[in-house]
Structure 1
Amino acid sequence: MTSTGPGTPARTGTPAPQPRPRHAPKPAGTPLHPAPQRPEGAPVVGCGVYVGGHRVPDVGPEDALRTARERDGFVWLGLHEPTEAELETIAAEYGLHPLAVEDAVYAHQRPKLDRYEDGVFVVLKTAAYVEHAELTATSDVVDTGEVMVFLGDHFVITVRHGSHGGLAELRHRLEQQPDLLCLGPSAVLYAVADLVVDHYVEVAQAMEEDVDELEASVFSPERTDDSQRLYQLKRELMQLRRAVTPLDLPMQALTDRQAEIVPKEMRSYFRDVQDHVFRVRDQIAALDELLGSILQASLARTSLSDNEDMRKISAWAGIIAVPTAIAGIYGMNFQYMPELSWHYGYPLVLLVMALACGLLWRAFKRSGWL
């Protein structure tokens, strides 16, 4: 993504991705952005209190919310796959809505934005490209996860599900941008959404390379059957589409003036993220349409090859039918058959067979059947 205009803090998303090297792929099943595993039994993977855009040192999770309220700042609490009991304890302290807590525990939600009396609950689908040496009919191409964000006056809680999409690096980058952090908890929500959409861009570009590779294979001189690989990639692209397309409405809601918890200074930031969502959505639609055309071309080419095989088989069957018919007639062993007792009858019949087969072969060859 590109940076915003003059006087605007630098974007927090990842830099523009470079083409991935095909000659040195990662092991199969490796996502682009692996995340460190949380310590056993510790759902809190990050906690910080921010006042005036700067992090307050030496504040633990137990005193974070109280400190944030006293100093008019906010808490950023990061969780990774918490259990129901763990999240309910945090929900009681921060006053989270029970329905939002239930969604955050069990995951598998569509991207959405829910407004509650004391805040906002946002669900984002994360995506990572799974590197593979060769695309097969069973290759996993897109690995998805979820990031849920609870947004309140003095807190933002991120709940992450999945093995990728860690936010530690994002937190570090944000702490280098106090002008953005001083805008409040919505700045964290913007940064998370921006990072998620940046990953969409990376995945879409990587999948575009797979589409190009399959297109070259389908139209290569060699006879290949790529229909199963094409269908698998189309299914994986649909998985990415399910993560991107529903994000339109949450981004629209965050740019709406009715979203009181989002300062008006932040609406332009969310509008920029929404613009990139639109572009990724259009790119996915174009890739899906192209894959559909390539799949139809592959099926048509397979059908054409089958027709060519049938024509060759029919042509050879027609050629073989002539000597078969002659041999069948003379095999009836009648006493008074033409040339049956002639000294040169046998070579003459062979010559007639060869000449007839040769003429038929030439006719089929000229017509393109052989």
Structure 2
Amino acid sequence: MERTRLYRNGVMEAEGFPVDDVSDHVGDPSAVVWFDLCSPSQADLAKISEELSLHRLAVEDALHSQQRPKLDTYDSHLFLSVYGAKLVDRRLELTGISVFITKNALVTVRENPHFDIDEVIRRWDANSEMAKYGVPYLLHGLLDYVVDGHFEVLQDLDDQVEALEDELFEENSGDRVSIQRQTFEMRKKLVRFRRLAVPVREVVGSLLRRSVEMLDPALDPYYQDVYDHTLRVAEWTDSLRELVGNVHEAHINQQGFKLNDIMKKITSWAAIIAVPTLITGFYGQNVPYPGLDHPFGFWTSTTAIIVASSVLYLIFKKRGWL
């Protein structure tokens, strides 16, 4: 589905017109055109390329998924690639967004409909007086929404890590294999998220360095705010990776401590059992011994077994081995 808008002198003049009409407006210096394509075909992008004189390599990058977030410069336009992110049923869902930026046109190409472009439009309309700054303002609204989405994902992942920590240190925690699996899956999500979210910091930084040639000074604080948010995303992501690593190490250490406790108990019970085994084995030998053929010999051996076993049990219990 195609979404289009036309701004003239900072005021939205038309919406929902055909993409074929874009060429009628881009020649007007007072007009700013935005249009959005969701899962376009190669023919759709070829038509746009002809309308806006887009570079062939940029069009190819927009058609191929799994591009690294980046900002490329061409003679007539900029090409930007970022990823929207959200968690769906604890599963990380990433949507590639390619953006073509010309002097008075902004083209967004979404990989799939999972990225909520309507929310971006609501942000533009909430500050409609800023539309007078043209394409840079529209681009800011898009980047701001993308980075806010990264924050929401990190908040959910942070909550999941805290729940994992609580489960790890519960007295009667459940399946240890489940904890190990959750930790592994969390590390995979963070690695994937970091690879596609953290480079946005470089993208926004590059736009800030170009502020003299493409940004109105009034927009510098807005882009600087987005850049600060990207720094926080990077720091938070690295912090969560470290926390998950600590959870994994703590889980391994717990397994080692538990094994040590089991070995202590086995050793303690083996020592306790060894005492009566020694005594009964000794009295079972075919040699004379004190109390042979007398009742007090039996009671002596039995008392020795009970006393020695009880003493060993109390000693091991006091040391926490049992």
State whether TM-score is above 0.5: yes
Cross-structure match for 1:312: 265
Given candidates 42, 52, 65, the residue that maps to 1:107 is 65
User: Is structure 2 residue 314 aligned with structure 1 residue 362?
Assistant: yes
Distance in 2 of aligned mates of 1:232 and 1:168: 31
Deviation at 1:128, TM superposition (A): 0.4
Contact 1:148/1:159 (8 A) holds in 2: yes
74-83 or 220-229: which moved more? Answer: 220-229
Contact 1:65/1:74 (8 A) holds in 2: no
Deviation at 1:282, TM superposition (A): 1.7
Letter in 1 for 2:73: R
Q: Deviations over 1:238-295 (max 9, x none)?
A: 2222223211221111111466344444333211110111122222222222333333
Cross-structure match for 2:74: 116
Letter in 2 for 1:355: V
Distance in 2 of aligned mates of 1:368 and 1:159: 65
Aligned length: 318
User: Is structure 2 residue 25 aligned with structure 1 residue 93?
Assistant: no
Q: Deviations over 1:71-115 (max 9, x none)?
A: 631221111122223222222222111111111111201111000
Q: Deviations over 1:173-198 (max 9, x none)?
A: 41453322221222221111000011
Cross-structure match for 1:341: 293
Distance in 1 of aligned mates of 2:167 and 2:321: 26
| TM-score, structure 1 as length reference | 0.79
Letter in 1 for 2:134: G
Cross-structure match for 1:152: 102
Given candidates 46, 62, 65, the residue that maps to 2:3 is 46
Cross-structure match for 2:227: 274
User: Is structure 2 residue 119 aligned with structure 1 residue 161?
Assistant: no
Deviation at 1:223, TM superposition (A): 4.5
User: Is structure 2 residue 257 aligned with structure 1 residue 299?
Assistant: no
Sequence identity (%):
30
Given candidates 240, 248, 256, the residue that maps to 1:287 is 240
Q: Deviations over 1:192-219 (max 9, x none)?
A: 1000011111111122211222222223
Distance in 1 of aligned mates of 2:225 and 2:287: 97
Deviation at 1:303, TM superposition (A): 1.6
Contact 1:113/1:250 (8 A) holds in 2: yes
Contact 1:253/1:259 (8 A) holds in 2: no
Matches within 5 A, 1:215-294: 215-223=165-173, 225=176, 226-257=179-210, 260-294=213-247
Cross-structure match for 1:72: 30
Contact 1:150/1:158 (8 A) holds in 2: yes
Deviation at 1:163, TM superposition (A): 4.8
Q: CA RMSD in A?
A: 2.3
Gaps of 5+ in 2: none
Cross-structure match for 1:198: 148
Distance in 1 of aligned mates of 2:261 and 2:123: 61
Letter in 2 for 1:102: E
Distance in 2 of aligned mates of 1:120 and 1:265: 21
More helix by share: 2
Letter in 1 for 2:13: V
Contact 1:52/1:178 (8 A) holds in 2: no
SS at match of 2:3: strand
| TM-score, structure 2 as length reference | 0.89
Distance in 2 of aligned mates of 1:259 and 1:187: 15
Contact 1:128/1:164 (8 A) holds in 2: no
